[in-house]
Amino acid sequence: MRVTGTNPAVLRLDRLLAESTGCSRSQARSLLLRSAVSVEGRTVRDAGFLVTPHCRVALEGNAVEWPREHYLMLHKPAGYECSSKSALHPLVSSLVPAPLGSRLHCAGRLDVDTTGLVLLTTDGQFSHAVTSPRRACPKTYLVTVRHPLDPAVPQRFAGGLQLRDEPRPTLPARLELLSPLQARLWLAEGRYHQVKRMFAACGNRVEVLHREAIGAVKLDPSLAAGQWRELTADEVESLRDS
Ligand code: URA
């Protein structure tokens, strides 16, 4: 199956070197100035020289691969932040070694204390497909609450809840009660702290929140917290279409 992405058709030579080898753009420029880089067998020292995927680029005689798009599932541990910068917490992307880790962004965030499935990608179109409110890609959560669940809550979630400072009620959500303190929730949107706010609106409090699935893609049970793997081509396609 063909996995399409947003890889540019043309790259500056310094960016190609940085993305393929994990060095910084300034390190890439030093390599170029040291005459360590060739294109089609000829030394190129110009950082802005444009190359395409068909160009034969070499660094100290070794072929430099064109950077491809990446699509990962990560089992997010508590205490990690889904953003590109944080002074307070380590970033989820730091769980993926360089050079790949620094190229990734999250396709949909989880709170610092939430665990479970996070998608990391280099492909902006893919993350848009997963997170766009118009696509309403469903997410599944396992929720543990502080107070015994009121049997009326599933109906309230199904009817949509008006959350404070929100212009519209939430979309209908499905809640299955699993035990007095635990439930599974299917949500077709991703507003700020939405799960916690929905339970708070019903007089309860989320104690533990874990994302089990996004669309048809389930968190791989073989991944321990902090581990990741590449998505299969079928998983990528199913998320693009969901
Ligand atoms: N809703 C929340 O409240 N927190 C999350 O991390 C995800 C959904």
Write out the chain's pLDDT in tens, 242 residues.
Answer: 334 445 668 999 999 999 888 888 999 999 999 999 999 999 999 999 999 999 999 999 999 999 889 999 999 999 999 998 888 999 999 999 987 888 899 999 999 999 999 999 999 999 999 999 888 899 999 999 999 999 999 999 999 999 999 999 999 999 999 999 999 999 999 999 999 999 999 999 999 999 999 999 999 999 999 999 999 999 999 999 87
CB of 89 sitting under 6 A from ligand 1: no
**135 ligand 1 Cβ < 6 A:** no
The pair of three-digit structure tokens given for residue 206, joined into one six-digit string:
């989320």
Pocket perturbation via mutation, ligand 1, pick of 113, 185, 193 by most ligand atoms within 8 A of CB: 193
Cβ atoms of 48 and 29 closer than 8 Å: no
Question: Is 111 a known active-site residue?
Answer: yes
Give me the catalytic one of 46, 111, 113, 165: 111
Instruction: For strands 50-51 and 71-76, give the pairing.
Output: unpaired
Q: Record the pTM.
A: 0.85
Ligand 1, atom 7: nearest CA belongs to which residue? 110
Helix (H) or strand (E) holding 31: helix 25-33
Architecture of domain 11-63: Roll (3.10)
Question: Residues of CATH 3.30.70.1560 domain(s) within the chain?
Answer: 138-214
Cβ of 153 below 6 Å from ligand 1: no
Indicate if ligand 1 lies below 6 Å from the C-beta of 193. yes
Cα–ligand 1 centroid distance for 84 (angstroms): 18
Dihedral angle over CA of 239, 212, 78, 84, nearest 10: 10
CATH 3.10.290.10 placement within the chain: 11-63
Contacts for 31-36: CB closer than 8 Å, 24+ residues apart: 31/59, 36/60
* Atom 2 of ligand 1, residue of closest alpha carbon: 193
Query: Using alpha carbons only, what angle is made at residue 230 by residues 25 and 140, rounded to the nearest 5 degrees?
Result: 115
Give the position of tokens 């005459």: 35
* Chain centroid, CA 102 distance in Å: 13
What is the chain's length? 242
CATH topology assigned to domain 138-214:
Alpha-Beta Plaits (3.30.70)
What is the CA(68)–ligand 1 centre distance, in A? Answer: 31
* Residue 207 burial class via C-beta count within 10 angstroms: exposed 0-12, middle 13-18, buried 19 and up: middle
182-187 and 228-230 strand pairing: unpaired
78 C-alpha vs ligand 1 centroid, how far in Å? 12
Strands (E), 137-193: 139-145, 174-179, 182-187
> Cβ distance 177 to 165 under 8 Å?
no
In the chain, CATH 3.30.70.580 covers 68-135+220-242
Distance from Cα 41 to the centre of ligand 1, integer Å = 52
Closest by CA position to 229, among listed 96, 109, 108, 110: 96
Beta pairing partners, 39:
42, 57
Ligand 1 centre from 196 Cα, in Å? 6
Does the CB atom of residue 198 touch ligand 1 within 6 A? no
Distance CA 137, CA 97 (A): 29
Could you tell me which CATH class the domain 68-135+220-242 is placed in? alpha beta
